Amino acid sequence: MAHLNIILPITLLLIGFLLKLFIGRNIETPSLIEALCELPVDIIFLALSFSIAFTLSKTENQANGLFFCFAGIAVAILVVALWRITIIYYLKKVKYFWPIILAINLFVSSYAIKKSVDLIIDGVEKIEKLDSEHNK
């Protein structure tokens, strides 16, 4: 499976999103919008967990991984703040402003998850390259 690095995180996010949406809630537009507004928070914490896994996986990854973890925490604060602002504007019925903030938040968190997956993939590729050079 060539695109497993994309499929697995998306599947995990989709499962979490659907569980939040369907378990213990009536499916109504406000619930759907609130769950959609929470999605960037789920994405950023998945990205942080990938960065932490990268950091803990090898001693050589610690310096680079810690940088990404601290940067990820700063981005997570931004994403959570944007999520709260989105909910406030949605509840105040500001029609055009909350979708723009949501789109920005989804972009920021999607970029973070892409970078964290790339971090892991690049680390695996470096290990495979070193192993293949060592075995020659």
Q: How many CB atoms lie within 10 A of CB 121?
A: 12
The residue ranking higher by pLDDT, 134 or 62, is 62
Instruction: Specify whether the CB–CB gap between 46 and 113 falls below 8 A.
Output: yes
Lookup: tokens for 63: 């310096």
The residue ranking higher by pLDDT, 71 or 2, is 71
pLDDT of residue 29: 79
pTM > 0.95? no
pLDDT of residue 128: 62
Give DSSP secondary structure letters for the chain: -TTHHHHHHHHHHHHHHHHHHHTTS---HHHHHHHHHHHHHHHHHHHHHHHHHHHHH-GGGHHHHHHHHHHHHHHHHHHHHHHHHHHHHHHTT-TTHHHHHHHHHHHHHHHHHHHHHHHHHHHHHHHHHHHHHHH-
Compute the distance between CA of residue 106 and CA of residue 83 in angstroms, rounded to an integer: 10
Report the range out of 55-69, 90-104, 118-132 with the highest average pLDDT: 90-104
pLDDT(1) > 60:
no
pLDDT of residue 21: 75
Percent of the chain residues topping a pLDDT of 90: 39
pLDDT of residue 67: 92
**Tokens 């979708």, located at residue:** 99
pLDDT of residue 54: 87
Phi first, then psi, for residue 31 (nearest 5°) are -65, -40
For the segment 22-66, what is each residue's pLDDT rounded down to a tens digit? 787 677 778 788 889 999 999 999 999 889 888 888 888 888 889
pLDDT(121) > 90:
no
